[in-house]
Every structure is written in structure tokens, then in C-alpha cells.
Amino acid sequence: MNQRFFLSLGVALVTVSVQAAESDLKPALAALKKVGPEGRGNAEAASAWQTLSKADAHSIPVLLAAMDDANDLAVNWLRAAVDTIADRELKAGGKLPIAALHAFLGGTRHHPRARRLAFELIARVEPAEADKLVPTFADDPSVELRRDAVQRLLETADAALATNKVGATKGFRAALNAARDEGQIKKAAAELRKLGQEVDLPRHFGFLMTWKIIGPFDNAKLVGFDAAYPPEKEVNLAAEHDGKAGKVRWSDLVTKDDYGMVNFNKPFGDLKGVTGYAFTEFNAASARPAELRLGCKNGWKIWFNGKLLFGRDEYHRGSRIDQYRLPIELKAGKNTLLVKACQNEEVKDWTKEWEFQLRVCDATGTAILAKDRPAAPAKTALKTTAQN
């Protein structure tokens, strides 16, 4: 009875203390959240930061929660304040509000980075307790927390390989299902395939595999990036246009690449100084926020539902999965995607690639699949004039 009473009292006191901290810090938090582009609000933020960083340790959850609706610059200011408070408190022999940090970590609606920071603070003080939490993060919205959990799954499956192939298979499958990190996905997929298991990597990532392509248009002296060729004005899949070396028309391309690479060199030959377009539709189950994630080492532009999202005229400096992340709002039903890929005129071996990979996913990297996506990369569904 007494123990329960004091525990309740403790929780109540912490709550009161946090509420007081929240109230005291409100003006400083508001000032700090106003930081914006080109240094806007920095002077006020510096002053606010002095207030926040001098707050006591009970304020840490308040600062973490403030990250929820803060922009990424303000999140960094807040993070630095949290670190400063925690360092000072621990150096002075004080304590961090561990119960409140656990509660915060459990609230998956909070900013993923704030929750990760809460976890790291817990780990500083109670490493064994933090370690026990790791397996619970396999489906966590924080990519960093999830990565730790997947690593644990991979290590367990690895350990089972020699003696328990069924267990290892289950373990690698669980790891693959949970994994959003490219390296971890590749590791789990490779192990599953060695164990004779089917793995549909394009589906796991959400790569778009089925395209209509057209080209080549000109990109000599890099003119193609700014030139608005006919597909940018209207996508008419039945139309014929003037290309770089004669008439060009749309054709089908279905990539079978595990990582969704759409390679223009396959149908067109290893051309230089050219521009190509790829078009596809995405049939969304519902309206929702999403991300287009692109990997491309050529100049590129992307239009989503007819609107130019972004473009970049960098050539052959490297490419990787999720190189560029572009937030979009999917609408229910048909959405359209047009990708422009420009190849430059350099002739070195490492400048041959004329390709891109594109996927649709949520902010954690979880694939969002089209309603009508086939179970595996289509091999015969479309009349294929070009295959990667």
C-alpha cells in the first residue's frame, strides 16, 4: 500500500514538475522553433537556447516532445540543448528522468529522432535495460531503432545457420521483413537465397518495374536538361516525336533487376549526349503522404501527376538506392510519374551508365505498393520490347 502510494506520488510529482517545466520553457521553445531558411531566427534562437540548455533534467522530455512539430534546424538546436542538460546533470552526479524517458520512447507518435535520443539517454544510464528493449524495435517507425533490432535478428539467424537451418531461415525472413536499411536487406536476402528461399526484392523495396520509355532526344553540350521535349508538354503514348536521330516513339520496358534499375542503354545502345524519358502509372490504394526515392547518376527531372517535383544536373558522381528523397501526396487511384534522364558526352568507362531506379515508400522506407502490382516482376504481362 505504502509503496504504491509513494510510486503514485512520485509519478504525480514528476508530472507536475514536467508541466511546470513546459510552461516555463514555452516562450523559449516558441522562439527556437521559428528558425528558418538563410539564418532566419538564429539570433533569437541563440538566446532561447541559453534558456533551454540551462533547464534541469526534468525538462528533457519537454524538449524532446518539442521536436514533434519542429523543423530539422530547430530539432538540431533542441538536440544540442538536451545533450547539454544531460551532460551537465550526469557530470554533477545527478540523474536523468529515466521513467519519463521510457514513457517518451514508448510513444511512437513522437519524432523518430527524439525517440532515438531518448533511447540513447536511457542507454547511457542503464545500458542493460536499453539492451533489453532492442528486440522490441523491429517494427519501429524510427529507422535507427529498427536497424538495431534487425541487426539482432540477423545475428541470431547467423548463429543458428550451422545447427538449425529452419530456425535460421525463419530468422532471416523476420529480419528481411523488418529491414529498411539497404545493407541489412541485402544481407538477409542473400542468406535466404543461399537457403533456397524465394525473395522478391523489388517488392520489398517498392521499386517501380514497368515503364514506357522514349528517346533518344538530344543532350549534346548538356542542352537536354533545360530543353522541354514533347513528353514534358504532354505524355501521349501513341504519339511519334522528332528525336535526336529521327522519329522516336514510346515502347515498353520491364526491368527484372533486383534493385529496379531502368537502363536506357539496353534498348537504345550505349549512347552519349542523349536524353530519355520513362513514364509509368501508380495505382494507389488510398490517398496518403509518401516518398519517391530515386537513385540516378545522370542529370534527371521527375514530374509527379504532371507537376515538376525536382531536377538535378549532376553527372556521374555516383548513385545509390534512396539517393534522393522526394515527398509526395499520393491520390487514391491513378498517379502518373515521368522521369527524364540525361546522359552527358564524357567517354570514360565510368560514365557509361544511363539509368535510374525509383521506388515509392513511406518515410521509414517501407514500400507502398500499387494496387495492381503483380506478385513478381512481370515477365509476360506486357509486350516487352526491351528488358533489362
Partner 1 sequence: MKKLFAISLLAIAANALTAADWLQFRGPNGTGIAAETSAPTKLTEQSVVWKIPLPGRGLSSAIVVGERVFVTASSGVEQDRLHVLCFSAKDGSKLWERQFWATGRTMTHHKTAGAAPTPCSDGKRLFCIFSSNDVACLDLDGNVLWLRGLGRDYPNASNSLGMASSPVIVGDTLICQVENDSESFAVGLDATTGANRWKLDRPKMANWTSPLILPGASALVVLQSGKGLSAIEPRTGKEMWYYTDGAATIPSSTFANGVFYAAAKGITALRPAAGNPHPEQLWQTAQLSPATASPIVIGGKIFALNNAGILSAGDVKDGARLWQLRLTGPFSGSPVAVGAHLYLANEKGLVQVVNTAAAEGEVASTLDLKEIVLATPSVAHGALYIRSDKTLWKLGAR
| Residues in touch with partner 1 (CB under 8 A) | 35, 37-40, 42-43, 45-46, 49-50, 53, 72-73, 75-77, 79-81, 83-84, 87, 113, 144, 147, 181, 183, 297, 310, 312-315, 317-320, 323-324
Cβ(43)–Cβ(50) below 8 Å: no
Least separation in angstroms between residue 283's CB and partner 1 is 29
Residues in contact with 119: Cβ distance below 8 Å, sequence separation at least 6, in sequence order: 105, 130, 133, 145
Question: Which of 258, 322 has the CB closer to partner 1?
Answer: 322
Distance CA 94, CA 87 (A): 10
Nearer to partner 1, 259 or 310 (CB): 310
In the bound state with partner 1, the residue whose beta carbon lies nearer, of 106 and 183, is 183
Q: Minimal distance in Å, beta carbon 273 to partner 1? A: 16
Give 38 or 69: the residue with its C-beta nearer to partner 1. Answer: 38
- 37 versus 93: smaller Cβ distance to partner 1: 37
Cα 326 to Cα 214: distance, rounded to the nearest angstrom: 23
- Residue with grid cell 524495435, as numbered in its chain: 137
**How many Å apart are CA 234 and CA 216, to the nearest integer?**
17
Nearer to partner 1, 211 or 324 (CB): 324
User: In sequence order, which ranges of 198-285 are alpha helices (DSSP H)?
Assistant: 201-205, 230-233, 265-268
**Smallest separation, CB 42 to partner 1 (Å):** 4
Cβ proximity to partner 1, 114 vs 209, nearer residue: 114
Q: How far is the CB of 46 from partner 1 (least distance, A)?
A: 5
Q: Which of 365, 339, 152 is nearest to 253 (CA)?
A: 339
Minimum separation from the CB atom of position 368 to partner 1 (A): 21
CB-wise, 45 or 214, nearer to partner 1?
A: 45
Q: CB-wise, 90 or 161, nearer to partner 1?
A: 90
The three grid cell numbers given for residue 271, joined into one nine-digit string: 549512347
Minimum gap (Å) between residue 223 Cβ and partner 1:
14
To partner 1, the closest distance from the beta carbon of 150 in angstroms equals 11
Minimum distance from residue 371 beta carbon to partner 1 (Å): 31
- Taking the complex as a whole, the smallest distance from the CB of residue 180 to partner 1 amounts, in Å, to 11
